[in-house]
Amino acid sequence: MRAVIYLLLMVMLVTPALASDWNMFKKDASHSGFTIDTVNPPLTLKWSSNIGYSTDSSPVVVNGILYIGSSYGIHAIDAVSGKEIWKYQTNGFVRAVPAVVDGVLYVGPNDKRFYAINAKNGSVRWTYTQSLDGYLSSPAVVDNLAYVGSKDANFYAINILTGETSWSKATASSIDSSPAVSGGTVYVGNRNGVLIAFDAVNGKEKWRYDTGTEIKSSPAIENGIVFIGSNNGVIYALTSDKGILKWKYSTGNNIEPSPSVKDGTVYVGSKDSNFYAIDSATGKLKWKFPTSGFVTSSAAISNGVVYFGSANNVIYGIDANTGQLLWSNSTGGKDGDYVTSPAISGNMLYAATHNGIVYAYASSKEHTPARTAGTTATTAPVPAGTPESPGFEYAAIVLLIVFLVRKRAAP
């Protein structure tokens, strides 16, 4: 009995650490952008770290270490102190967001190589050299395969155990889009404006949808629907099984960030300097929030708050239900030092700006729903939902303990 209780208590202690990993672009392979970790505004800057090189990459955080790409290569930074642990120099700019799985970091820079790097010490485990051009696409890693698109117009599935090609497919155009994986299918867009669905195991094409314009945005998936933006300012909602259009919504300019999706709402920014919340079932606008610069980042969602960055060096925290501003912070950089996509780990939010500075913000203890004066969403508030929290995990663990104790005590 003591052994059972001890084991379950250890699981309870480990669970929060596991939940707080943000280990690839948009948190997970489906690109939801949502975490159960709670980050409550207003946030307080805990540290900032100048990595010394410009960055278009976004941070990931695994086991207390932050990883980010730059014009130098890859940097590993202590997520608590902001001190650099190691860095690895590549032969090209790492604009993609790394993926870290089972102690290995995967990323492709602009030097035609795709790397597997020991996440602890920065040593290279293997390099993949089949691409004829560099990478802008951020990898998604699922079931021992790293999926990534290349500027050589090919889409690759790389076996992470061997560093060899599992399968590859030509798409006829350069791929900036980062793939999303769900239900045995991998989805990716290309610069010809085509969203393609491949079988994740064998690479067989399942369907394609032509938007008629360039795609730099990356897909996100929820409840059997794929959402993606395009350079004509339109966000599309397609059925994940057949690629049938359910709806589309037009903004005023290019959509390059990836949509984030949670509880029936799609969140995405546009170069028209607005951030949108759209009903995922109907395509109707719930609210839009005006920023003072075009929206450069994809959003991270925590406890009913949507966090994103803009080209005017500002990080925003917006009420997910009403579109009201809860918190913002100017990083103080010059125009053009845009904010890349934030990551959330534990009670911390991490973000970076193009000038190579990484920021770590700590959560307040309690959610502050008060609206910041002077900033309004352009539509009426929608009904408030119930904020997500990790409490259900602990409830499940407690129930499991009770079940096992009773089972053990039964004659």
For the domain that residue 374 is a member of, what is the CATH number? 2.130.10.10
Q: Cα(356)–Cα(298) distance, rounded to whole angstroms?
A: 18
- Determine contact, residues 219/31, Cβ cutoff 8 Å: yes
pLDDT by residue, tens only, the chain of 411 residues: 454 444 444 444 444 344 479 999 999 999 999 999 999 999 999 999 999 999 999 999 999 999 999 999 999 999 999 999 999 999 999 999 999 999 999 999 999 999 999 999 999 999 999 999 999 999 999 999 999 999 999 999 999 999 999 999 999 999 999 999 999 999 999 999 999 999 999 999 999 999 999 999 999 999 999 999 999 999 999 999 999 999 999 998 999 999 999 999 999 999 999 999 999 999 999 999 999 899 989 999 999 999 999 998 999 999 999 999 999 999 977 666 799 999 999 999 999 999 999 999 998 765 443 333 345 566 534 333 323 333 334 344 444 444 444 545 554
Assigned token pair, 102: 């089972």
Report the pLDDT value the prediction gives residue 337, as an integer from 0 to 100. 77
269 pairs with which residues across the strands?
Answer: 275
Is omega for the bond preceding 259 within 30 degrees of 0, making it cis? no
Report the pLDDT value the prediction gives residue 376, as an integer from 0 to 100. 53
Strands 300-302 vs 34-35: parallel, antiparallel or unpaired: parallel
- Write out the residue range of the structural domain in which residue 213 sits: 2-409
The pTM of the full predicted model, rounded to 2 decimals, is 0.87
Q: Tally the domains of the chain.
A: 1
- Determine contact, residues 113/127, Cβ cutoff 8 Å: yes
Assigned token pair, 304: 């009913």
Tell me the residue type at 39. Answer: V
Report the pLDDT value the prediction gives residue 20, as an integer from 0 to 100. 76
**301 burial level (CB within 10 Å; 0-12, 13-18, 19+):** buried
- Determine contact, residues 206/184, Cβ cutoff 8 Å: no
Report the pLDDT value the prediction gives residue 397, as an integer from 0 to 100. 44
Residue 402 belongs to what H/E stretch?
Answer: helix 391-409
Is omega for the bond preceding 42 within 30 degrees of 0, making it cis? yes
Short-list 125, 105, 121, CA closest to 61 = 105
The CA angle 71-75-80, to the nearest 5 degrees, is 140
